[in-house]
Amino acid sequence: MECNLKRCNADVEVNGGVVLPATEDHLEEAIGAIKEGKVIAVPTDTLYGFACDACSMEAVHRIYEIKGRKYTSPLAICVSDVSEITRFAVTDHLPQGLLDNLLPGPVTVVLRRGESSILEKSLNPGLDSIGVRVPDSNFIRIIARASGSALALTSANLSGKPSSISINDFENLWQHCAYVYDGGLLPSGRAGSTIVDLSIPEIYKILRPGSAMEETVAILERFHLEKSS
């Protein structure tokens, strides 16, 4: 993997943030940082994102501070596998196999938390729904799996600014992260994931077209879900 900074192959500390290649050799540092309640920047299958332990409110608040994001704007979570979603959200109203066809991939599914969710109520307070991602990216999924929890995940940029497809796009924010993981230039463009609300049985609603809307709609309709009017 080519590094897109003028540096050696060794890790480099820049303004307080350590830049490392997004490879298996550096997973241990990422997992340790998440367990310690720190924020890291990682590549996904769409954009670069800020990630932390979704059950660490201190870390979640740190993400809001880094982005300059309003606390009324909800964060999504990232889990390692489709089978993990039931720990955090209600899925029993969905057709069997639907989530396995949508994920892993560039799709965020919005579901009800329900009473059985292990997410703290203080994450996205006042909302009974949660956006869930299972990116088609082994690096972040391994981190989520090893954390034993879910990762709070949001795009690595200042709120309202363009999304990042290279670590250079958010260089001014490196200093706020424990580690910045360089996965090179991401090929998907800046559209981000397709966000679809699946919280109501037999109904879907596209909340953001994103980078995979056509494929997502085709799968939803194949499973006989109807578009919200």
pLDDT in tens, 160-216: 999 999 999 999 999 999 999 999 999 988 999 999 999 999 999 999 999 999 999
Q: What structural domains and CATH numbers belong to the chain?
A: 12-227 (3.90.870.10)
Dist CA 66 CA 62 (whole Å): 6
Both structure tokens of 186: 């991401």
Asked whether the CA dihedral 94, 96, 99, 102 is positive or negative, the reply is: negative
Strand order in the sheet with 76-78: 12-14, 17-21, 179-182, 40-43, 48-53, 151-155, 76-78, 129-133, 107-112, 194-197, 203-208, 226-227
pLDDT at 4: 37
Closest residue by Cα to residue 154 from 89, 64, 71: 64
Q: pLDDT tens digit string along 89-140?
A: 999 999 999 999 999 999 999 999 988 888 888 889 889 999 999 999 999 9
Strand 48-53 to 129-133 pairing: unpaired
Single out the residue of 26, 33, 30, 24 nearest to residue 11, CA to CA. Answer: 26
Average pLDDT over residues 44-56: 96
pLDDT of the residue at 161: 95
The pLDDT value recorded for residue 12 is 46
Q: How confident is the model at residue 225 (pLDDT cuts 50, 70, 90)?
A: very high
Asked if the peptide bond before residue 106 counts as cis, ω within 30 degrees of 0, the response is no
DSSP string for residues in 23-62 = SGGGHHHHHHHHHTT--EEEE-SSSEEEEEETT-HHHHHH
Decide: 201 and 226 in contact? Cβ < 8 Å: no
Q: What is the pLDDT of residue 10?
A: 39
Amino acid at 76: A
Which of the residue ranges 8-12, 21-25, 92-96 would you say has the lowest mean pLDDT? 8-12
First to last CA, the chain: 46
Q: How high is the pLDDT of residue 210?
A: 96
206 φ, ψ (degrees, to nearest 5): -80, 115
pTM (predicted TM-score): 0.91
The beta strands (E) that lie in 84-213 are given as 107-112, 129-133, 151-155, 179-182, 194-197, 203-208
Give the per-residue pLDDT at 116: 85
Cα angle: 142, vertex 147, 151; to 5 degrees: 85
What pLDDT score was predicted for residue 5? 36
Q: What angle do CA 197, 136, 210 make, to 5 degrees?
A: 45
